[in-house]
Every structure is written in C-alpha cells, then in structure tokens.
C-alpha cells in the first residue's frame, strides 16, 4: 500500500509528539511550521527547565487538574497518562525526576533535552520539517485536503492540526464551520496595590486560603508577593478555574486572603494563650511560624501595634484587628500580569467538534486536532504538556491502526 501523506500544522509539543509516534513505514509526514524554529514554547517552558508532566497516575484524579476538558480527557488519559510519558522519554534515554510538589522535569533541568529527543524521534520517523511555511487555509477535496501555505500548496490524506492558540489558526477552522469558544488568558497573577504587600516581593506563605466570593471560588496553596501583587500556585489555580469570569470582570474584583489557612477563632486563641502564658513576650516575637519576620512587622505596623510592646498589654480589639488582617484580609484586584513560567489560553475549538476516542474531527474524516487549539487547559504543573502528549499519542496510534 502506498504511503499516506500526513500534514502536521504546527511544530509545537502536540505536533512533534504526533510525528514522533507515527509509523514511518505507513506515512510520509510533513510538518509545517510558520516561524523559523520549532518547539519554541517547549524551550521557554518551566523557566527553561520544561515541566514535562506531573506525578499523578490515576486518570480520574488527573482530569481534576483541567478547568476545561476534564470530562473529555478521561478516555484520552486512560490510553496515555503521565506514567506512559515517563516511560516514553526514558525508553529514549531521557531521565525524568519528580520534585516535592509533584512536578516532573528532565534530570538535566534543561528543556533542550526534551527538544532534542522530540526532534530526533521525528527525524527517525522521516518527518519532513518545513520552516517558515504558514498555513493560510485548508480545503477538503474528494477525500483529501489541499493546504494553502505562505510558500505554496500541499496535498494531504490526513491533517493533524496542532497550531497552538493563535487566533488566526482558529479562524482557519471557523472558515471550515468548526464551532469555537472565544479565547481568554489563563494562568496569570493578580495586580494589587495595598500597603500590606508593598516592598515585600519574594515574601511567600506556604499555605494560604484564597476566595473570590463574587465567583464562589476557593483555593488553597502556596502564595507569593510580587512587585505587582500576588502570585504563586494558589493564585494561578484560581486564575485558571475562573479564567472566564475574571475576564468578564475586566480583572477587577475583591480577593479574600487567609495567610495562615487557619480559622479566625483558632488564630485568636493562639494570641490569647500567649497573652496568658507569656504576658511579657514582645509582640515582635509572637509571629505565627508560617509568616516571615518582615511580613509580621508590616502587619503590626498596619494594626498600630509597637513590636516592643508586651503582648499582655495589647488590648483585645487590637489583637482582633491583627487576627482579621491575617485571616480575613480583603484585597482589591485591579488587573492581571503574565506569569512568566507558564501561561495558556482557555478557549479554542469547541470540544463537541471532537471524537475523543480518536481526536478526530466529527465534521471531517482524517482531520485530527490536539494541543492548545482545543478548548482544553490545565492548571500549572506539567498538565498542559501532558494533555498535548496524550492527545498526540492517541492520534498517532489511531493513524497507525487505520492505515
Ligand atoms: C512561558 C510558557 C511556559 C510554559 N511552561 C509549561 C510547562 O513547564 N509545562 C506545561 O505543561 N506547560 C507549559 N506551558 C504551556 C505549554 O507550553 C502549551 O500548553 C503547549 O506548548 C501547547 O502546545 P501546542 O503544540 O498545542 O502549541 P504550541 O506549542 O503553541 O505550538 C504550535 C506551533 O504551531 C505554529 N503555528 C501556529 N499557527 C500556524 C500556522 N498557521 N501555520 C504553521 N504553523 C503554525 C506555531 O508557530 C507553533 O510553533 C507553558 C507556556 C508558556 C507560554
């Protein structure tokens, strides 16, 4: 049987992983990339270290990390999940290591390791990479596809559409009558101007509770003060889960923060006990263990409490004010900033368009889609790449079996 021509649109994680897993004896694979280099997001990912996946090996637990696509990804992860990712890379000589928080990186701490293996595997499969070929439109014609690019036309038996989240790439699908969901940013940090946070960038809290009552949203986890406001895993998670609502609110809303993740009454009791047992203790020395000394000094300052004052002499209303600032702090968010380590787009191709058993379009036969072009995104931690690897693997296995 003559080889089928597979045209992959976009040389990112999803496109390369598809190319890397296609059966070279069955396919002539051409990868079209609009820019002058491939895998550019992989290169900058995870601060240049590439957070490849996450140590969560139960598909039903894994899908909980995806604000969009969690139902659809279940079957995809049942066929290729983080354990398979680790194995795939390890079989090709890449050792991955798991960090305390579950994120998985190459042992080398360099995204180049991942780029090298993806390029090598795609080359072994005979993938022809065409740089500076921007796909302009795709036309279905008598069971095949004509692909118009900035450098001429191509013909393909199968399309694998993996161009990431660029609006122009979504337009190409809209012209083919695909329904889409408007893209909005996900995984961003919050801009807040408040005396509590001023000049304290780098201050972190191991476990804070956040809530946005307006959007009935709650999160818990590490929190970080930045130059512009707040960041850290807890903020990124809430930004992902509420990406659409926050966009609609123009990123202006009230954030409630409990810096200690302990109830008001419990923290108040902590101070009352200290007042009774060590009344001579200075306020500067009574900080809860989870806070830094600098942050504690700022809290005391804002509550009008002198750090040299003995706790036994501090009046109850002042201690209550202090406790409220630590556990029921209300901060006005006035905008967002980009999280440099990882950001994605929520929105893209409507998931109703896809048959998730194969990742094939329900409209067009032999037209597959994967990666950020879909209305699927995960929270930070390696979940976005995992979705790319899993979807791409399902496509490659389907094509290998179909022809
Ligand atoms: C700074 C940053 C850090 C990140 N770090 C992590 C991380 O550590 N872990 C994690 O899981 N996720 C991370 N992500 C998210 C992750 O990078 C994306 O989810 C993933 O790259 C999406 O892969 P993709 O193949 O769908 O799209 P992309 O990686 O965007 O690749 C699409 C490719 O298609 C090309 N293209 C687009 N349109 C056309 C066209 N019309 N014709 C031809 N080519 C076209 C683009 O130039 C691009 O090369 C990070 C994202 C960013 C921005």
Is the confidence at residue 7, as pLDDT, over 90? yes
Nearest CA to ligand 1 atom 2: 342
Q: Are residue 77 and residue 209 in the same domain, yes or no?
A: no
User: Which residues are paired to 4 by β-bridges?
Assistant: 27
Q: Are residue 104 and residue 203 in the same domain, yes or no?
A: no
**What average pLDDT does range 30-59 have in this prediction?**
98
Q: Are residue 223 and residue 285 in the same domain, yes or no?
A: yes
Q: Are residue 207 and residue 298 in the same domain, yes or no?
A: yes
d(CA 267, CA 384) in angstroms, rounded, equals 38
State the Cα angle at 141 between 138 and 146, rounded to 5°. 35
Is the confidence at residue 155, as pLDDT, over 90? yes
d(CA 24, CA 1) in angstroms, rounded, equals 13
CATH, residue 12: 3.50.50.60
For residue 1, what pLDDT is reported? Answer: 76
Nearest Cα neighbor of 184 from 5, 352, 379, 348 is 348
* Dihedrals phi, psi of 143, to nearest 5 degrees: 80, 0
The model's pLDDT over 252-301, given as tens digits with 9 standing for 90+, comes to 999 999 999 999 999 999 999 999 999 999 999 999 999 999 999 999 99
For residue 148, what pLDDT is reported? Answer: 98
- Structure tokens given for 115: 């780029």
Nearest CA to ligand 1 atom 34: 10
Q: Which of 318, 338, 358 is the last residue of a domain?
A: 338
**What average pLDDT does range 368-389 have in this prediction?**
98
- Structure tokens given for 215: 């959007």
For residue 262, what pLDDT is reported? Answer: 97
Q: Are residue 320 and residue 381 in the same domain, yes or no?
A: no
Q: How far is the CA of 42 from the centre of ligand 1 (A)?
A: 7
Q: Which of 338, 356, 384 is the last residue of a domain?
A: 338
pLDDT band at 337 (very low <50, low <70, confident <90, very high): very high
- Of the residues 50, 105, 384, which should be mutated to test ligand 1's pocket, given the most ligand atoms within 8 Å of the CB? 384
Nearest CA to ligand 1 atom 30: 164
Q: How far is the CA of 190 from the centre of ligand 1 (A)?
A: 23
Q: Are residue 166 and residue 257 in the same domain, yes or no?
A: no
Q: Are residue 15 and residue 108 in the same domain, yes or no?
A: yes
Helix, coil or strand: residue 190: strand
Q: Are residue 180 and residue 208 in the same domain, yes or no?
A: no
The model's pLDDT over 340-359, given as tens digits with 9 standing for 90+, comes to 889 999 999 999 999 999 99
Contact yes or no for 348/183 (Cβ under 8 A): yes
Q: Are residue 353 and residue 395 in the same domain, yes or no?
A: yes
The structural domain count of the chain equals: 2
With a CB cutoff of 8 Å and minimum separation 6, the contacts of 354 are: 72, 360, 361, 362, 369, 374
Give the pocket of ligand 1 (CB within 6 Å).
9-15, 32-35, 40-41, 44-46, 50-51, 134-135, 162-164, 166, 169, 341-344, 371-372, 382-385, 388
Q: Are residue 25 and residue 95 in the same domain, yes or no?
A: yes
For residue 333, what pLDDT is reported? Answer: 98
DSSP state of 49: T
User: Which residues are paired to 161 by β-bridges?
Assistant: 9, 369
- Of the residues 65, 165, 342, which should be mutated to test ligand 1's pocket, given the most ligand atoms within 8 Å of the CB? 342
Mean pLDDT score across all residues of the chain: 97
For residue 166, what pLDDT is reported? Answer: 86
d(CA 353, CA 371) in angstroms, rounded, equals 14
Range of the domain at 324: 188-338
d(CA 32, CA 9) in angstroms, rounded, equals 5
Q: Which of 338, 369, 390 is the last residue of a domain?
A: 338
**What average pLDDT does range 128-133 have in this prediction?**
98
Q: Are residue 155 and residue 63 in the same domain, yes or no?
A: yes
Q: Are residue 330 and residue 353 in the same domain, yes or no?
A: no
């Amino acid at each position: 049987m003559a080889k089928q021509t597979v045209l992959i649109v976009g040389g990112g994680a999803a496109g390369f992983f598809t190319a890397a897993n296609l059966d070279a004896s069955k396919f002539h694979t051409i990868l079209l990339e609009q820019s002058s280099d491939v895998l550019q997001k992989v290169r900058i990912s995870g601060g240049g270290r590439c957070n490849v996946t996450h140590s969560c090996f139960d598909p039903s637990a894994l899908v909980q990390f995806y604000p969009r696509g969690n139902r659809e990804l279940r079957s995809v992860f049942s066929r290729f999940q983080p354990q398979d990712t680790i194995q795939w890379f390890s079989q090709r000589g890449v050792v991955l290591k798991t960090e305390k928080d579950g994120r998985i990186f190459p042992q080398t701490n360099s995204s180049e390791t991942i780029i090298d293996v993806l390029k090598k595997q795609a080359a072994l499969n005979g993938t022809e990479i065409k740089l500076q070929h921007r796909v302009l439109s795709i036309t279905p014609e008598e069971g095949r596809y004509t692909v118009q690019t900035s450098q001429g036309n191509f013909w393909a038996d199968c399309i694998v559409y993996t161009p990431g989240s660029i609006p122009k790439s979504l337009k190409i699908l809209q012209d083919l009558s695909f329904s889409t969901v408007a893209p909005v940013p996900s995984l961003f940090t919050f801009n807040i101007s408040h005396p509590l946070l001023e000049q304290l960038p780098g201050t972190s809290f191991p476990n804070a509770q956040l809530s946005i009552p307006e959007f009935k949203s709650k999160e818990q986890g590490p929190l970080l003060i930045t130059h512009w406001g707040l960041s850290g895993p807890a903020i990124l998670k809430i930004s992902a889960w509420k990406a659409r609502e926050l966009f609609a609110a123009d990123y202006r809303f009230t954030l409630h923060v409990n810096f200690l993740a302990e109830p008001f009454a419990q923290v108040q009791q902590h101070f009352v006990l200290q007042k009774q047992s060590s009344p001579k203790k200075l306020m500067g020395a009574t900080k809860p263990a989870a806070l830094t000394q600098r942050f504690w000094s700022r809290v005391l300052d804002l509550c009008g409490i002198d750090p040299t004052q003995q706790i036994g002499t501090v009046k109850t209303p002042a201690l209550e004010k202090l406790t409220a600032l630590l556990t029921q702090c209300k901060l006005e968010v006035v905008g967002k900033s980009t999280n440099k380590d990882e950001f994605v787009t929520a929105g893209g191709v409507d998931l109703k368009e896809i048959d998730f058993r194969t990742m094939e379009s329900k409209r067009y036969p032999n037209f597959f889609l994967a990666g950020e072009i879909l209305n699927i995104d995960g929270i930070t931690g390696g979940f976005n790449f995992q979705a790319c690897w899993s979807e791409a693997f399902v496509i490659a296995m389907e094509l290998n079996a179909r022809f």
